[in-house]
Every structure is written in structure tokens, then in C-alpha cells.
Amino acid sequence: MAAFGTGIFEADDRLQIEQTLYTPREQELIARRAFSINKNYASYAKEVGYDYYERTGSAKILGPNGAKDIPFVGEKGGRVTQNVYTIVSGVRYTEDERAALEAKRALGKGPSTPLDTLRVATARRTIFEKENALAFVGDSSISIKGIWDSSFYGTDLGTAENVATGATGATDADKRLWSNKTAAEILADLQEAVSTVESSGLFKARVLMVSPERFNRLRKPYSAYALQTLLSWLNSEGMYFEKIIASNVCSSTYNGDTVDYMFVYDDDPEVVQLIVTEDVRLHDPVRDIIGTDEFAITLKTAGVMLRHPSALYVGKGI
């Protein structure tokens, strides 16, 4: 195994690689913006999970003569488990690339000429893209369910439904589009989502997530006579979402559906978390037989752990 400082790479080169690797852009961290991160599991864990319990039994009122059929209470429950998987990518630098870097150093240009870290940024981006995909879409081949998985929605679970039709459009699908709806009709869609999430009194509609195109619709003035935008109204006088996130994970090109989604949910850690057992890590370089240095970059995750699906609302067709 090669090490920095013993070959043509210097310690400063590794610092440049790590600086690039460990400073991701906010746009790459969609799952981490959407959900709290749980890093409490051991990095070597192969499986994570949680126990759940439900009360059983009841109480009754005894009459003057008493009774012998006393109801007893108890509990039933089980354990939900999810496997941990490693996301991996890598970068390599050939002997010729290292020699070119050394030549720059020899000319006194080393400190002012940074290592080409474009491929490191690319590896970082692909890893976080995969993390986002596992969190939202999932991967059936390794039994990870994303937040869009249909098994999370239905009776006594989360709600996934078509939004209401508006007044404008040739078809029902057209009438659901926010681009064809008035501000009042869009607010009605949002109010339905909030009311559904909060109907039990147990959850709070803290987050709204939409695609960038639909987010831009919220930036338009309420009307020609009221120049306040829907976005400013939501933030100042309306539903007070704690976060409003614009991301392509809600778009039809990403979510596996044919229409864009509006996603309203409670992001409390007790409801949903992103499980990361080991964050992005740069492994030591390995030099092959022809002098190419290869670096593995890994991240360990179990995807999203969803404890309360009823705190989720997906409005389809916006």
C-alpha cells in the first residue's frame, strides 16, 4: 500500500483531495436536507433496526356486586430491521499524471498549482446521488425501500393521492398542474396536505418539498393586483413550513412516476431518519503494478428508516 509522503504525492495533495471530498455542495445533499441523520449505529453494523410495541387489553367498570372477568393488559410488538450497504466509487491517478504534477513542483509552481480534483468531486457527487436515490426511490435488488415506495401509503399509512383539479385545462391531468392553477387553487392543495398530515394531532407538517419547476411557481405574484408571492405568504402569514425544499427528487424524471409530486411531511427524528453508519470516507491509496494510484471512496447507509408513515403526504400531478 502506497502512502503520501513516500511517493510523488505529497501530504498537501491529500489535503486537496480531502478538502474537495468533504465539502459537498448543498444541492448534492438532498436526503440530508430532507431528513435528520442518524449516525448512532456502529460503523461495522451489517443490520440496523428498532423495536415497536402496541398496548393490548382494556379496563372496565365493575358494578356493585363486582365481577370475576377482569380484563388484563399487555403488549405486543416486534422488530423492524434494515440491512446496511456500502456505496463505493473511486478515483485514480496515473504515473504520468503524478509526473506532470512533480514537474510543476520542480519549477516552483507546485504550491500554487492544485492537484486536479475534478474527478474527486465527480466521485463525491455520484456517491451522494446514490444516497439520494436510496432514500427516495430505493433499490428493490437489495431490499431498500425509498420514501416513495407504495407500501408506505394506504389505509392507516401515509397518503398518496392525486391533487384536486382546477378550473383550467383540457384534461383532468392538465387541471391538476400548478402551471394551470390559480394561487388560491395551489393554496387549497397545500392546505389539504397539511390537514391530512396533522389530522391525528400527532404530527406536524413541517416540510414542503417540490420540484424546482413547481417551486418557481410559488415565486410568482399571487395575482396581478396582489404582488406578494405565494412563497412569501407561506413563510410570513400562511402555513409556516419550517423548510421548503426544491429538488428534482419530486420530478417525474426521478420519482419513477409519470407526474411531479408535492411532498409534505413531519421530519421529526421519531418519524423518519436517514441512517448513515459511516460517512464519506477516503481510503488509503493503493498503487498497482504499473504505478497507478487508486483511491476508494465509501459511504455506508441503510437508507431511510420510516417509523410513522402516516406523517407523510404525497400530492400527485402538480
**pLDDT for the residue 113:** 47
Residue 26's Cα: distance from chain center in Å?
12
**pLDDT for the residue 5:** 40
Cα distance between residue 198 and residue 239, in whole Å: 12
pTM for this predicted structure: 0.82
Cα distance between residue 154 and residue 85, in whole Å: 28
**pLDDT for the residue 69:** 75
- If you write DSSP's letter for every residue of 219-245 in order, what string do you get? TSBS-SS---BHHHHHHHTS---SEEE
**pLDDT for the residue 112:** 44
Q: Which residues, at least 6 apart from 316, have a Cβ–Cβ distance to it below 8 Å?
A: 160, 161, 162, 163, 176, 257, 259, 260, 261, 262
Largest distance between two CA atoms of the chain: 103
**pLDDT for the residue 67:** 62
Cα–Cα distances (Å) from 57 to 66, 74, 99, 302, in that order, read 19, 6, 75, 35
**pLDDT for the residue 252:** 95
Kindly report, residue by residue over 158-210, the tens digit of the pLDDT: 999 999 999 999 999 999 999 999 999 999 999 999 999 999 999 999 999 99
User: Domains in the chain, ordered, with CATH?
Assistant: 11-53+75-316 (3.90.1690.10)
**pLDDT for the residue 116:** 67
**pLDDT for the residue 3:** 41
Among candidate residues 238, 295, 239, 256, the one with its CA nearest the CA of residue 1: 295
**pLDDT for the residue 189:** 97
**pLDDT for the residue 154:** 95
Partners of 294 in the beta sheet?
92, 286
CB atoms within 10 A of CB 58: 8
**Per-residue pLDDT tens digits of the chain, which is 318 residues long:** 344 444 445 666 777 787 888 787 778 899 999 999 999 999 999 999 877 666 666 777 776 766 667 777 766 666 778 999 999 999 888 888 777 777 766 666 544 445 567 788 889 999 999 999 999 999 999 989 999 999 999 999 999 999 999 999 999 999 999 999 999 999 999 999 999 999 999 999 999 999 999 999 999 888 778 888 888 888 877 667 999 999 999 999 999 999 999 999 999 999 999 999 999 998 988 888 888 888 899 999 999 999 999 999 999 999
Cα distance between residue 26 and residue 44, in whole Å: 28
Q: Which residues, at least 6 apart from 61, have a Cβ–Cβ distance to it below 8 Å?
A: none
How far the first Cα of the chain sits from its last, in Å, is 53
